[in-house]
């Protein structure tokens, strides 16, 4: 009970910097280690050659779709759970958490079976070349099956974060990622299993992360019981979960589509371009995952404050999150831009074409990364306070509404440079949309606060 009270204190009354540090930093550390795993995974696979490296780049968007299901139920439930806890409705919150977890496992299982059956045509659609396909099939068969653990992990990640138990999420992410980093060289080189070893290492690490969450549930450390009897998929629960969850899933689908469009556009330029762009995606994702991890701490504070009608606390959380995330993004973006050649060469195994492509793209992505914190705080805020449609529109900008037209048109106008600079152009356009929608949101919050004060005066 005392632990639960401490969590509620962090969400509702602790100073914002303290609350953000306590809730955001542990998840951020876990995400950082997870991002490092992605880089280390690419590093070890890159040592096998450009075609294996291209294979994991091709598989990446498929994995994002599966993870998106976990985010649909997990992030959708987390937003609702934070608001329910802010209102003090623990019984409904318990039913929502259980319904989200079991629903994600069932739907995820169905999608994984479908992906495993139709793996080859899916890989062709994602842009696999003839030389990449054999490696993609070997890696994909193992990786896709292991995604059932990842679906559950992502769902639990969000649910646990919504109740303020950030250290549990950090432990699950940290343990899985560190284990994966250690198993990669063991399976790939020591046991000589090649690219299959990378997939096996991922499967084992995801399973271990799932065990962490199972122990957390079985030891009754959560505010939610997750009992099968609490699985009550009512229309109201699904509406509340999916109005935030569907936009979140859409973001993941758009991420997959954007990577697939890049791979298809690069298909005609050879495996080196696909591999180079894949390396850039993983490097940039290291920064984006850290920001997402930090904002996992911001979201429950925002949702709780909005549910409790504590608008001053909500505004302070927004201001502090923008400042901290923007400072981080400027520092990381500057490093990516300044040392783009040195960074990309670590994944190229001496391939000059891959280095040239990756260097130019990483330089431009590093500069546009300056804007990522500002953009992501507001896309997270809209979802946290239950404004699903506006959250969807804003969240869909960076890799959908703005990106898709750019990746279709720019390569036709600028050739290969259009592929390299498509994401940075979309980033700038998305930041402009964010500024417009942020002004509207703050106006709505002021109006809601005035209406709340008026009701208090009447009563």
Residues listed for the chain: 459
Q: Which residues contact 449 (CB under 8 A, 6 or more apart)?
A: 309, 311
Q: How confident is the model at residue 180 (pLDDT cuts 50, 70, 90)?
A: confident
pTM above 0.75, yes or no: no
Domain locations along the chain: 14-452
pLDDT at residue 278, as a whole number: 79
- The answer, yes or no, to whether residue 403 has pLDDT greater than 50, is yes
pLDDT in tens, 415-435: 888 888 888 999 999 999 999
Task: List the end-to-end C-alpha distance of the chain, in Å, as a whole number.
Answer: 34
Is 413 or 230 the better-scoring residue by pLDDT? 413
Q: Are 74 and 154 in contact (CB under 8 A)?
A: yes
pLDDT at residue 429, as a whole number: 93
pLDDT at residue 299, as a whole number: 83
pLDDT at residue 456, as a whole number: 61
pLDDT in tens, 318-359: 999 999 999 999 999 999 999 998 888 887 777 787 888 888
Q: Which residues contact 119 (CB under 8 A, 6 or more apart)?
A: 137, 140, 141, 144
Least confident of 80-89, 101-110, 191-200, 394-403: 80-89
pLDDT at residue 12, as a whole number: 65
| Residue entry with tokens 């990522």 | 372
- The answer, yes or no, to whether residue 25 has pLDDT greater than 90, is no
- The answer, yes or no, to whether residue 137 has pLDDT greater than 50, is yes
Give the mean pLDDT of 252-272.
Answer: 77
Is 77 or 11 the better-scoring residue by pLDDT? 77
Q: Quick one: which of 323, 311, 442, 322 has its CA closest to 375?
A: 322
Mean per-residue pLDDT of the chain:
82
Q: Rank 38-52, 83-97, 435-449 by mean pLDDT and report only the highest.
A: 435-449
Residue 326, SS3 per DSSP: helix
pLDDT in tens, 192-231: 888 999 889 989 988 998 898 888 878 777 667 777 777 8
State how far the Cα of 118 lies from the Cα of 185, in Å rounded to an integer.
30
Question: CA geometry: angle at 192 spanning 191 and 198, to 5°?
Answer: 90
The CA distances from residue 276 to 49, 95, 132, 380, in Å, are 12, 45, 14, 30
Instruction: Give the rounded percent of residues in the chain with a pLDDT score beyond 70.
Output: 92
Least confident of 47-51, 251-255, 331-335: 251-255
Q: Quick one: which of 183, 72, 51 has its CA closest to 128?
A: 51
pLDDT at residue 1, as a whole number: 43
Q: Are 262 and 419 in contact (CB under 8 A)?
A: yes
């Amino acid at each position: 009970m005392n632990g639960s009270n401490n969590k509620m204190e962090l969400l509702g009354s602790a100073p914002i910097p303290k609350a953000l540090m306590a809730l955001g930093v542990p998840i951020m550390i876990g995400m950082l280690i997870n991002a490092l795993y992605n880089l280390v995974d690419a590093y070890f696979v890159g040592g096998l050659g450009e075609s294996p490296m291209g294979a994991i780049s091709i598989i990446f968007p498929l994995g994002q779709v599966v993870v998106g299901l976990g985010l649909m139920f997990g992030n959708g439930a987390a937003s609702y759970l934070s608001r329910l806890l802010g209102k003090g409705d623990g019984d409904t919150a318990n039913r929502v958490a259980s319904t989200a977890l079991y629903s994600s496992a069932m739907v995820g299982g169905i999608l994984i079976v479908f992906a495993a059956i139709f793996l080859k045509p899916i890989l062709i659609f994602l842009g696999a070349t003839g030389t990449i396909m054999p490696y993609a099939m070997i890696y994909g068969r193992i990786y896709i099956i292991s995604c059932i653990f990842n679906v559950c992990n992502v769902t639990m990640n969000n649910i646990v974060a919504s109740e303020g138990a950030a250290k549990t999420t950090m432990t699950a992410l940290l343990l899985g990622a560190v284990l994966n980093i250690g198993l990669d060289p063991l399976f790939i080189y020591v046991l000589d299993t090649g690219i299959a070893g990378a997939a096996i290492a991922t499967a084992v690490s995801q399973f271990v992360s799932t065990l962490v969450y199972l122990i957390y549930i079985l030891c009754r450390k959560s505010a939610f019981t997750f009992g099968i009897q609490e699985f009550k998929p009512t229309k109201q629960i699904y509406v509340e979960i999916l109005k935030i969850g569907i936009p979140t899933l859409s973001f993941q689908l758009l991420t997959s589509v954007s990577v697939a469009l890049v791979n298809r556009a690069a298909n005609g330029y050879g495996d080196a371009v696909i591999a180079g762009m894949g390396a850039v995606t993983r490097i940039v994702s290291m920064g984006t995952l850290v920001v997402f991890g930090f904002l996992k701490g911001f979201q429950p504070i925002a949702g709780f404050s909005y549910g409790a009608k504590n608008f001053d606390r909500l505004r302070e959380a927004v201001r502090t999150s923008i400042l901290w995330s923007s400072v981080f993004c400027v520092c990381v973006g500057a490093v990516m831009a300044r040392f783009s050649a040195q960074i990309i060469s670590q994944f190229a195994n001496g391939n000059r074409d891959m280095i040239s492509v990756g260097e130019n793209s990483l330089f431009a992505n590093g500069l546009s990364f300056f804007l990522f914190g500002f953009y992501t705080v507001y896309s997270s805020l809209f979802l946290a306070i239950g404004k699903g449609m506006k959250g969807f529109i804003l969240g869909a900008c960076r890799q959908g509404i703005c990106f898709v037209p750019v990746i279709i048109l720019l390569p036709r106008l600028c050739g290969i440079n259009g592929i390299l600079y498509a994401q940075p152009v979309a980033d700038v356009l998305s930041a402009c949309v964010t500024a417009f929608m942020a002004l509207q949101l703050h106006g709505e919050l002021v109006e809601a606060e005035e209406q709340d004060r008026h009701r208090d005066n009447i009563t």
